[in-house]
Amino acid sequence: MAGGYTPGFHPHLPGRGYKFLSQALGATMWFFIFYRARQDGAKLLGFDAFADNTHGDAHGSHH
Amino acid sequence: MYLSIIILPLLASLSSGLLGRKIGTTGSQIISCSSLLISSILITIAFYEVGICGSSVKIDLLSWLDIDLLSISWCFYFDQLTVSLGLAVLYCSTLIHIYSIDYLSSDPHIQRFFSYLSAFTAGMLVLICGGNFFVMFVGWEAIGVVSYLLINYYFTRIQSNKAAILAFTMNRGGDMLMSIGFFAIFQTFASLNYSEVFSLVPYISNNAISIIALFLLGGALAKSANIPLHSWLPGSMEAPTPVSALLHAATLVTAGIYLLIRISPLLEYSSNVLLIITIIGSTTAFFAATCGLLQNDLKRIIAFSTISQLGYMMMAIGLSQYNVALMHTVNHAFFKALLFLGAGAVIHSFQDQQDVRKMGGLINFLPLTYTVMLVGSLSLLATPYLTGFYSKDLILELAYSQYSFSGTYAYILGSVTAGITAFYSFRLISLVFLTYPNAPKESYKNTHESNLAVVLPLIILSLFSIFFGYIFSDLFVGIGSDFFKNAIFIHPNSISLVEAEFSMLSNPLLKLLPALFSLFGMLTSIYLYHLFPNSLINLTNSIPFLRNIYKFFNGKYYFDVLYNQFFITNGLKLGYSISKELDRGVIELLGPYGLSKYLVKLSNNLAKLDTGVITTYALYITLALIYLIFLVLQPVFFSQLSEATMIPGAWGWLPLNTGEGEEFRLFILIVISSLFINIF
């Protein structure tokens, strides 16, 4: 017989691959949210409604 | 290439369904998934050619009906609307096919399942690619039938049978209205082709257009599960989870939305119907969100969320913002499919448990599933910069910028609904993943993450739920975008995108109100269900009013009770009466049973005449003599009577002096003769 009854709680904990994937996915989402907030946050909050931030220029126009 | 998009899923369905024994389980899975995968690649190319390059494609395959007034052909039309929705349909369907490989791996009828799934996808593609109302109706009915088969997949379970029958009958009600609408279109326009009908709309009476639009709206309400034809959708959660994901994310429920977007030229000329659509959509969004607030079944919570989001789509259509409605449909397809598939992964790994009160603490066992559910939920509640945000937030801004009663109504209900959505989404997350484990230890022992076939679709859908909105928002709903060209029509008076963009600058609080509501709902939910789980129980136990509110929402406004009490019970009684008293009753009374009974009675009555008493016989002879005299003299009698009165009104109704009166005399004689016979 291969092994017998072992007392205690032995759940199937997730492997490292799953943990890595979950963290990578979560990090991607939060990174994207905060990155876009940095780019478009002012527009969303109504502070900088007319700014054109579509090209990733976070500093706005200096002209 | 374009026809292959539709035909490949159909061939996959036929091969799995008819040759299932030959090709086996693995063969069925490989054929179905690879067909769908190729179709997905082809729709991507079609999206590039038709959508981005702007070259619509019309394929007139063959003539179907060609009579004097009506000419219908198997015509398929690929325009921007078709390929945009087709993208969501095929991507979601392909991922669900792949997901089902593992999810139903232990099922003995996998070939049948894959056959249904592929057939459903093919039906949906026929619906959205149809070039006239008739072909669309073929697809519409096909998905109706296959949805019945899919919901009733576990056909030995009585709940599945009931749910399937409910979905089927409720959809048939809507289909009936829709088919009347098609008849009205044919009567008004003498054609069922989109191009001919839509080009003639401005020249037709507004009343006629409104009536047609109302009939078509009836079909759309049933298919898209809006009030009052919504109750089939939560019930259909009896189907396997991939079916729920397919039906309630990208395909079945979006058919009604597609229909309304497709008939945008009609709707734009019927402002009353647009008002009705806005009111129904807003009410549905709010109603379904409050129903989902306190449900305990994992899939039902997501189902009510689907109804709520369909309400948002209706709201956008009512506000004449068809491109925004379409974008929300496509976005919703991705994050809702993700939520359903994530829920399926939880249920599958947790001993098929669906009650969220008996879960908890799963974040340590299912971290990837938790993350994908979090992504889906955040996208659903329109967290800024995730996919759902780019359409849902815009719908509310557009509602506010209408400056009308319906617009304000939609904005207020939509904003409150956003908060409720956040509440029930995080209630689900809290109860399933975060809070203390509430299930037996045995349930946790075997809990484990799913394998690659399940994980891969979840990851891909998560990426869509994060990035799709940002990438495609400028194309679909950007100011000045001419992506949709003639595929949708917005009357110049209804264009309010610029207004929406700048109307809220004076008061940024109104712009941020839905987001603030969402934040409040999210924090309240985490507080009530994760940090202090006893507080809600204490509240409902101590305050009877709150307990009643809880019961009311948990009971889904008692809609099912009302339907059962007033509609279903009375409908069954009416059906029974028609069956017993009209159908079978008439046959029984006028048919062989009634005739034989009457003849027996007649024979008995005649037999009674033979009494053996001489005086009775004398009476018979006297009566017969009087009858004979009357028979001989009745023409003279009636004519003299008519002349004697000299008042036309008195006997004028008796046609006695004309040739046509012969029939009447005969009738009088028969009546008198019958009286004699019956007397004796």
Instruction: Provide ipTM, 2 decimals.
Output: 0.80
Query: pLDDT category, B595, cuts 50, 70, 90?
Result: confident
Cβ-count burial of A4 within 10 angstroms (0-12 exposed, 13-18 middle, 19+ buried)? exposed
CB distance B466–A28 less than 8 Å?
Answer: yes
Please give the Cα distance from A34 to A37 (Å, whole number).
5
- Tell me, yes or no, whether A57 lies in a domain: no
Percentage of chain B lying above the pLDDT 70 cut: 94
Query: pLDDT category, B673, cuts 50, 70, 90?
Result: low
Query: What pLDDT sits at residue B250?
Result: 83
The CA-atom distances, in angstroms, between B290 and each of B308, B339, B508, B608 are: 9, 19, 27, 75
- Tell me, yes or no, whether A5 lies in a domain: no
Please give the Cα distance from B192 to B172 (Å, whole number).
21
Query: What pLDDT sits at residue B542?
Result: 84
Q: What is the mean pLDDT of residues B255-262?
A: 94
Q: What is the mean pLDDT of residues B369-382?
A: 94
- Tell me, yes or no, whether A60 lies in a domain: no
**Smallest CA–CA separation between B101 and chain A, in Å?**
20
- Residues B252/B256/B258/B259 CA torsion (nearest 10 deg): 130
- Tell me, yes or no, whether A4 lies in a domain: no
Please give the Cα distance from B334 to B457 (Å, whole number).
11
CB distance A22–B378 less than 8 Å?
Answer: no
Query: What pLDDT sits at residue B655?
Result: 46
Query: What pLDDT sits at residue B10?
Result: 93
Query: What pLDDT sits at residue A60?
Result: 44
Cβ-count burial of B626 within 10 angstroms (0-12 exposed, 13-18 middle, 19+ buried)? exposed
Residues 6+ apart with CB under 8 A from B247: B120, B147, B150, B151, B236, B239, B253
CB distance A9–B445 less than 8 Å?
Answer: yes
Query: pLDDT category, B653, cuts 50, 70, 90?
Result: very low
Tell me how many domains chain A contains: 1
Query: pLDDT category, A54, cuts 50, 70, 90?
Result: low
Residue B226 in contact with residue B285, Cβ under 8 Å? no
Please give the Cα distance from B298 to B558 (Å, whole number).
20
Query: What pLDDT sits at residue A57?
Result: 47
Q: What is the mean pLDDT of residues B323-349?
A: 93
Across the strands, what pairs with B78? B57
Residue-number span of the structural domain to which A40 is assigned: 16-52
**Smallest CA–CA separation between A60 and chain B, in Å?**
19
Chain A interface, best mutation among B393, B429, B441, B449, by max A CB count within 10 A: B449
pLDDT: is A46 or B21 the higher one? B21
B367 vs A: CB within 8 A: yes
Query: What pLDDT sits at residue B680?
Result: 52
Query: pLDDT category, B144, cuts 50, 70, 90?
Result: very high
Is residue A61 over pLDDT 60?
no
Residue B36 in contact with residue B8, Cβ under 8 Å? yes
User: Kind and range of the H or E element at B61?
Assistant: strand B57-66
**Smallest CA–CA separation between A4 and chain B, in Å?**
16
Nearest one of B219, B292, B266, B176 to B553, comparing CA atoms: B292
B372 vs A: CB within 8 A: yes
- Tell me, yes or no, whether A30 lies in a domain: yes
Nearest one of B392, B370, B371 to B381, comparing CA atoms: B392
Sort out which chain A residues have CB atoms less than 8 A from B512's CB and list them.
Answer: 45-46
- Of A11, A21, A49, Cβ closest to residue B445: A11
CB distance A22–B370 less than 8 Å?
Answer: yes
Chain A interface, best mutation among B373, B378, B385, by max A CB count within 10 A: B385
Across the strands, what pairs with B486? none
Query: What pLDDT sits at residue B666?
Result: 65
Is residue B508 over pLDDT 60?
yes
Query: pLDDT category, B652, cuts 50, 70, 90?
Result: very low
Please give the Cα distance from A38 to B676 (Å, whole number).
103
Q: Which residue has tokens 């191009």? A: B195
Please give the Cα distance from B210 to B315 (Å, whole number).
18
CB distance B445–A14 less than 8 Å?
Answer: no
Query: What pLDDT sits at residue B6?
Result: 92
CB distance A11–B365 less than 8 Å?
Answer: yes
Is residue B265 over pLDDT 80?
yes
Q: Which residue has tokens 């070939």? A: B111
- Of B367, B374, B508, Cβ closest to residue A18: B367
- Tell me, yes or no, whether A58 lies in a domain: no
- Of B367, B455, B508, Cβ closest to residue A19: B367
| Distance from chain centroid for Cα B583 | 31
Chain A interface, best mutation among B466, B506, B509, by max A CB count within 10 A: B466
pLDDT: is B655 or B464 the higher one? B464
CB distance B508–A45 less than 8 Å?
Answer: yes
Strands B71-78 and B57-66: antiparallel
- Tell me, yes or no, whether A8 lies in a domain: no
For B:336-365, CB contacts with A below 8 A are 364-365
User: How large is the C-alpha radius of gyration of chain B?
Assistant: 33
Is residue B649 over pLDDT 50?
no
**Smallest CA–CA separation between A58 and chain B, in Å?**
16
Which of the residue ranges B186-190, B372-376, B539-543, B612-616 has the most confident prediction, judged by mean pLDDT?
B372-376
- Of A19, A23, A32, Cβ closest to residue B466: A32
Helix-strand-coil percent breakdown of chain A, rounded to 5? Answer: 45, 0, 55
Nearest one of B312, B469, B459, B313 to B386, comparing CA atoms: B469
The one-letter amino acid at B562: L
Query: What pLDDT sits at residue A21?
Result: 93
DSSP letter for each residue of B235-255: HGGGS-HHHHHIIIIISHHHH
Q: Which residue has tokens 């967290």? A: B383
Sort out which chain B residues have CB atoms less than 8 A from A54's CB and list them.
Answer: 474
Percentage of chain B lying above the pLDDT 90 cut: 49
Query: What pLDDT sits at residue B647?
Result: 46
For B:453-482, CB contacts with A below 8 A are 455, 459, 462-463, 466-467, 470, 474
- Of A33, A36, A49, Cβ closest to residue B505: A49
**Smallest CA–CA separation between A62 and chain B, in Å?**
23
Q: What is the mean pLDDT of residues B643-653?
A: 49
- Of B366, B384, B463, Cβ closest to residue A33: B384
Query: pLDDT category, B279, cuts 50, 70, 90?
Result: very high
Is residue B600 over pLDDT 80?
yes
Mean pLDDT of chain B: 87
Residue B441 in contact with residue B365, Cβ under 8 Å? no
Please give the Cα distance from B53 to B116 (Å, whole number).
34
Q: What is the mean pLDDT of residues B587-594?
A: 77
Query: Which residue is closest to A17 within chain B, CA to CA?
Result: B368
Q: Which residue has tokens 């000045």? A: B480
CB distance A14–B367 less than 8 Å?
Answer: yes
**Smallest CA–CA separation between A26 and chain B, in Å?**
6
Query: pLDDT category, B418, cuts 50, 70, 90?
Result: very high
Residue B143 in contact with residue B224, Cβ under 8 Å? no
CB distance B365–A21 less than 8 Å?
Answer: no
Measured on CA atoms in the order B350, B98, B340, B478, is the torsion positive or negative?
positive
Residues of A contacting chain B (CB within 8 angstroms)? 9-15, 18-19, 21-23, 25-26, 28-29, 32-33, 36-37, 40, 44-46, 49, 54
Cβ-count burial of B471 within 10 angstroms (0-12 exposed, 13-18 middle, 19+ buried)? exposed
Query: What pLDDT sits at residue B236?
Result: 87
Q: What is the pLDDT of residues B519-568, one digit of tens each?
A: 999 999 998 888 887 887 788 788 888 888 888 888 878 888 888 888 88
Is residue B325 over pLDDT 80?
yes
Residue B137 in contact with residue B28, Cβ under 8 Å? no
B378 vs A: CB within 8 A: yes
Query: What pLDDT sits at residue B565?
Result: 82
Query: pLDDT category, A48, cuts 50, 70, 90?
Result: low
Residue B323 in contact with residue B398, Cβ under 8 Å? no
Residue count (chain B): 680
Please give the Cα distance from A46 to A50 (Å, whole number).
9
Please give the Cα distance from B251 to B121 (Å, whole number).
8
Sort out which chain B residues have CB atoms less than 8 A from A46's CB and list them.
Answer: 504-505, 508, 511-512
Q: What is the pLDDT of residues B176-231, one digit of tens each?
A: 999 999 999 998 988 888 989 999 999 998 899 999 999 999 999 999 888 888 88
CB distance A46–B511 less than 8 Å?
Answer: yes
Q: What is the mean pLDDT of residues B30-51?
A: 93
- Of A21, A25, A33, Cβ closest to residue B386: A33
Which of the residue ranges B506-510, B512-516, B665-669 has the most confident prediction, judged by mean pLDDT?
B512-516
Q: What is the pLDDT of residues B58-97, one digit of tens each?
A: 998 888 888 877 888 899 999 999 999 999 999 999 999 9
Annotate B478-520 with three-state secondary structure: CCCCCCCCCCCCCCHHHCCHHHHHHHCCCCHHHHHHHHHHHHH
**DSSP tally for chain A: helices H, then strands E:** 1, 0
CB distance B365–A13 less than 8 Å?
Answer: yes
Q: Is the peptide bond before B234 cis (omega within 30 degrees of 0)?
A: no
B385 vs A: CB within 8 A: yes
- Tell me, yes or no, whether A31 lies in a domain: yes
- Residues B240/B245/B251/B255 CA torsion (nearest 10 deg): 90
Nearest one of B402, B400, B403 to B514, comparing CA atoms: B400
Query: What pLDDT sits at residue B611?
Result: 83
